[in-house]
């Protein structure tokens, strides 16, 4: 018998396919927008300006100031820019940094937001904003933060560098893994989580072998979409708490941090969430999902140690302290000593440990 549950569907409009970027002008028109501000990181400014040119007089300008972890001072400048241009909407092009900046502007202005993802981060499918102030990253969830339209174009991911593809994909897998044991999980989210993980497990090795494999890129983007829905529907637990602490406090790269930490959290929760972690293991063909997840990362050429991302060993204690100060719900209770041990293994790149 299926137990009773509550499922709140995400109300985004999704346009998925190949060559769908050509439909962006009609999506802008559909929302009745006349002056949209295009958001990106500095690294994608050229693509953002090309996109603004494609929009013609529908574009108010470009703001290429998005950075990781959405610092509040960066958002303040972007809001001032949008206001000065008289923008009546936003188009964010890129991954979690650009889409996160879009959400932060929405929080402060209420402007309509169209997201055009170019990575597998999944932020576009969540009503969650993570932002950093004075080295502390906090999150908030509000329905209005969810982009109203998401335009997925597989072609935009064909040039995504392989290392970023891998870590971005592992980041997406982490969303789905936590959704399997989240407090607000339900059978619908479980189906999407398993399908999303399976799609990415197929796609990532194929992308490493052939970065322009359109079928693999389509699988990866589809999987990332599903994993993003899972995160937006079922919430977060220990894995995301640790990654938010590590990113906000030590400015570690977002997707790489998720890639390193995930196997250790899977092992930490393996007994307390045996059914959920067992589903992950079944998808990977093993009873030890944490070890398999780390082996997959290593096989794909991804980092497996926090020290390789620039985290100081002396920061382990600080990270453990911050994580227990305001913890997210987790199927297994957390304490500073246990998290210190987990983070020490992740820092060194040691094998995950089930205890």
Q: Which of 199, 205, 139 is nearest to 173 (CA)?
A: 199
Residues 132 and 165 sit within 8 Å (Cβ to Cβ): no
235, 296 Cβ separation under 8 angstroms: no
Task: Mention every residue, 6+ apart, whose C-beta is less than 8 A from residue 347.
Answer: 305, 306, 307, 311, 313, 316
Give Cα separations from 70 to 289, 294, 333 (angstroms): 32, 28, 29
Q: Which domains does the chain have, with CATH numbers?
A: 13-157 (3.40.50.1970), 162-348 (1.20.1090.10)
159: left (phi over 0), alpha (psi -120 to 50) or beta: alpha
Q: What is the pLDDT of residue 332?
A: 97
Question: pLDDT per residue over 70-80, tens digit each?
Answer: 999 999 999 99
Contact 89, 28 (CB under 8 A): yes
Tracing tokens 């820019």 back to the chain, one arrives at 81
- The CA distance from 355 to 352, in Å, is 10
pLDDT score of 333 = 96
Structure tokens at 38: 């295009």
Length of the chain: 355
Rounded Cα gap, residues 173 and 259, in angstroms: 9
Can you spell out the DSSP letters for 103-156?
A: HHHHHHH---EEEEE-SS--GGG-SEEEEEETTEEEEEE-GGGS-SEEEEEGGG
Beta carbons of 230 and 199 less than 8 angstroms apart? no
- Which pLDDT value is given to residue 234? 87
- Per-residue confidence (pLDDT) for residue 321, from 0 to 100: 96
| pLDDT tens, per residue, the chain with 355 residues | 677 877 777 778 999 999 999 999 999 999 999 999 999 999 999 999 999 999 999 999 999 999 988 999 999 999 999 999 999 999 999 999 999 999 999 999 999 999 999 999 899 999 989 899 988 888 888 999 999 999 999 999 999 999 999 999 999 999 999 999 999 889 999 999 999 999 999 999 999 999 999 999 999 999 999 999 999 888 799 999 999 999 989 999 999 999 999 999 999 999 999 999 999 999 999 999 999 999 999 999 999 999 999 999 999 999 999 999 989 999 999 999 999 999 999 999 999 999 8
The SS3 assignment for 268 reads: helix
pLDDT of residue 5: 77
Q: How far is CA 277 from CA 193, 287, 297, in A?
A: 12, 9, 17
């Amino acid at each position: 018998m299926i137990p009773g549950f509550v499922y709140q569907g995400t109300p985004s409009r999704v346009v998925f396919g190949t060559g769908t970027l050509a439909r962006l002008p009609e999506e802008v028109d559909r929302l009745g927008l006349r002056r949209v501000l295009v958001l990106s990181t500095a690294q994608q400014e050229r693509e953002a300006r090309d996109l603004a040119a494609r929009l013609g007089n529908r574009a108010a300008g470009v703001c290429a100031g998005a950075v990781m972890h959405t610092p509040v001072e960066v958002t303040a400048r972007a809001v001032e820019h949008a206001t000065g241009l008289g923008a009546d909407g936003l188009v964010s092009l890129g991954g979690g940094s650009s889409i996160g900046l879009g959400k932060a502007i929405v929080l402060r202005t209420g402007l309509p937001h169209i997201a055009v993802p170019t990575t597998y981060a999944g932020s576009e499918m969540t009503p969650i904003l993570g932002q950093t102030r004075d080295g502390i990253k906090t999150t908030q969830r509000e329905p209005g933060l969810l982009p109203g339209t998401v335009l997925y174009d597989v072609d935009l991911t064909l040039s995504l560098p392989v290392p970023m593809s891998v870590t971005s994909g592992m980041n997406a897998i982490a969303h789905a893994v936590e959704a399997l044991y989240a407090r607000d999980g339900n059978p619908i989210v479980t189906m999407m989580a398993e399908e999303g993980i399976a799609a990415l497990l197929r796609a990532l090795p194929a992308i490493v072998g052939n970065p322009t494999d359109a079928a693999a890129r389509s699988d990866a983007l589809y999987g990332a979409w599903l994993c993003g829905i899972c995160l937006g529907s079922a919430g977060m637990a220990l894995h995301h708490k640790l990654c938010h602490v590590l990113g906000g406090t030590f400015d570690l790269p977002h997707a790489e941090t998720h890639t390193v930490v995930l196997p250790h959290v899977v092992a930490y929760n393996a007994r307390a969430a045996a059914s959920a972690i067992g589903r992950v293991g079944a998808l990977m063909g093993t009873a030890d999902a944490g070890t398999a997840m780390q082996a997959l990362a290593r096989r794909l050429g991804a980092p497996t140690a926090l020290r390789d991302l620039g985290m100081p060993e002396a920061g382990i204690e600080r990270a453990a302290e911050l994580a227990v100060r305001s913890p997210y719900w987790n199927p297994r209770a957390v304490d500073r000593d246990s998290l210190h041990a987990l983070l020490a293994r992740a820092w060194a790149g040691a094998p995950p440990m089930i205890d």
